[in-house]
Amino acid sequence: MQRLMRWWGHWLSRTRHALASTLATSKKTDACKAINEEVMPRHLNNLEKLLESSPTGWVAGTELPSIADFVWGCALAHYIPDKDRIFNEELRKLDAYPSCQALAAKFMALPEVKAYYSKSGLA
């Protein structure tokens, strides 16, 4: 699990730097607007519907978390809320997405995840 979380953080970091270095300022503004008003709401609404239909609250409806839960759990708990340069306040709070909030809380409450974050100093 630690290896997966390190990989995910490394991937996000590389993606963020690659995007930031290739866009002009006006294009960054346009991209952030599209991300906040179209892209992320569409993805979060789709995830919300998927989670609402899940019998277990996990993305795949499995008894235990799947890789999709690790991806979305990290993104919802840390990546989206911490990116104030990209996401507007409404998206960062996830108030319009209660099932997404519940997934983030459920994921972060896993004993292994709690131990990882407390040991790594990221909590």
pTM (two decimals): 0.75
Q: C-alpha distances in angstroms, 43 versus 4, 18, 37, 72?
A: 23, 22, 11, 11
Q: For 9-29, give the DSSP string.
A: HHHHHHHHHHHHHHS-HHHHH
What digits encode the pLDDT tens for the residues 68-108?
Answer: 999 999 999 988 888 887 888 888 999 999 999 999 999 99
**Per-residue pLDDT band at 121 (split at 50, 70, 90):** confident
> Mean pLDDT score of the chain, rounded to an integer?
86
Q: How much of the chain exceeds pLDDT 90, in percent?
A: 55
**Per-residue pLDDT band at 55 (split at 50, 70, 90):** very high
Instruction: Give me the pLDDT at residue 64, please.
Output: 96
Instruction: Give me the pLDDT at residue 2, please.
Output: 63
Q: How far apart are CA 5 and CA 116, in angstroms?
A: 9
